[in-house]
Structure 1
């Protein structure tokens, strides 16, 4: 089966601190993968490396078996949420998304509207971003990551700071994407956020990724 994402011997040091050392990862097409780790261990940096936004000191990144940095610098089939997107606070949700849609000119206004409805937002809501709740901002951020029908979705801490009701809404959105066959990679510093949803869990430890086991669960989360 085709690997959507393949990392080979990724090493990165930043300001004298080793972040990753010979990290390897394979994610098959259609898999949902969770990456667990404390704040500051490099979860967001790993996403940037996958997208070509951050260059590793050594190693190779392949998206759909195409090496990034060779034939392709930024894969267009990746939707990404890292931290909080920089939306314009005095614009409505749909106005922000329409501005972003003009970058690639792949989708029209109707498709933007459909995606907003898909994540539980009203495209006709004139509320400006600075008055959005945290849950609404998170849904809008996910919308910008998926609205161009990307086949690979990277979401950094999608559940962070959300109440139970909004977390349930986000899970429903992700369940729908999973059923569509999307390759999804999520991060969290709480293993319970990802446990029941992901096909496989990894843990960032000692500058590398290791499969999350019951032993690790007992060691770090009991």
Structure 2
């Protein structure tokens, strides 16, 4: 068995002269939560549709759960649960009845998983209400319950937290992690950077149809050479001017009740640079209360990469 749940090489999809995806090389390890991260229109849903056979690539190759696509699609999709954009249901049927309709197209065991799936997504008490009375968030949860009926090895979820309130998003995060703990793989397509960072083990950043970075969340957030520190000092205005004039500081601005200093690219990489800045402040009569290194978030890295591409 391959260690990869999803593998693409040179995958592309064009609509006339427009490239929705171009030369996508993607590796999604089994048993992980993997974020496919990009702005709206970046190509995320196009990738999901290609993997599920809802669209045909114009170039490249795909493998899903060890099966070459399109030849092995039937075998692969038998163990794949998916939500593409907003999940659709028969509005006049109850949540349970909708799952019964879906289970009828699956193997016989799918019917026996309905109650457990509804309970797992928090819809046990509303299972016999008609879907037209469900909120968008409830329909999203019913969509995930539908995914679970095939006992999936892989879940492909396209913007799954749309419509969920903060409590629902937290429940979804715990659900994804519990699925991964069971050995399943979750591909989470999203434009919500903070949620991907909190939920996923690894991610790929896509922009303008291309993957611009891929790796673990730790690797992605550590890719930038930019080093930043936050300093709380008084008087803040004087401290900002002193730091901005230091040769080892590229930029210093007041930020969130303190000063955020971005170090120059050629500044020393050990603690000596921080010590020299503190010495300079103290020598100028500035009282320093606190110094903290700033850990770059996935959002910082994403914005840095996509802005760089736009300005290239």
Q: Judge same fold: TM > 0.5, yes or no.
A: yes
* 1:29 positional shift: 1.2
Deviates more, 1:141-150 or 1:62-71: 62-71
**How far, CA to CA, are the matches of 2:137 and 2:195 in structure 1?**
16
Is 2:247 aligned against 1:162? no
Number of aligned positions between the proteins: 221
Residue in structure 1 matched with residue 40 of structure 2 by the alignment = 39
**Distance change (3 Å), C-alpha of 1:71 and 1:122:** closer
Match of 2:302 among 213, 217, 220: 217
Contact 1:12 1:20 in 2 (8 A): yes
Give TM-score scaled by structure 2 length.
0.66
Gaps of 5+ in 1: none
Contact 2:80 2:150 in 1 (8 A): no
Q: Which has the higher helix share?
A: 2
Structure 1 residues 103-114: aligned runs within 5 Å: 103-114=105-116
SS at structure 2 position matched to 1:126: coil
Residue in structure 2 matched with residue 58 of structure 1 by the alignment = 59
Gaps of 5+ in 2: 215-219, 225-300, 308-312
Residue in structure 2 matched with residue 181 of structure 1 by the alignment = 183
SS at structure 2 position matched to 1:107: helix
Largest Rg, 1 or 2 = 2
Residue in structure 2 matched with residue 120 of structure 1 by the alignment = 122
**How far, CA to CA, are the matches of 1:36 and 1:163 in structure 2?**
21
Contact 1:159 1:193 in 2 (8 A): no
**How far, CA to CA, are the matches of 2:14 and 2:110 in structure 1?**
41
SS at structure 2 position matched to 1:143: helix
When the two chains are superposed, the root-mean-square deviation of aligned CA atoms in Å is: 1.9
SS at structure 2 position matched to 1:23: strand
Contact 2:87 2:140 in 1 (8 A): no
Residue in structure 2 matched with residue 17 of structure 1 by the alignment = 18
SS at structure 2 position matched to 1:117: helix
Residue in structure 2 matched with residue 194 of structure 1 by the alignment = 196
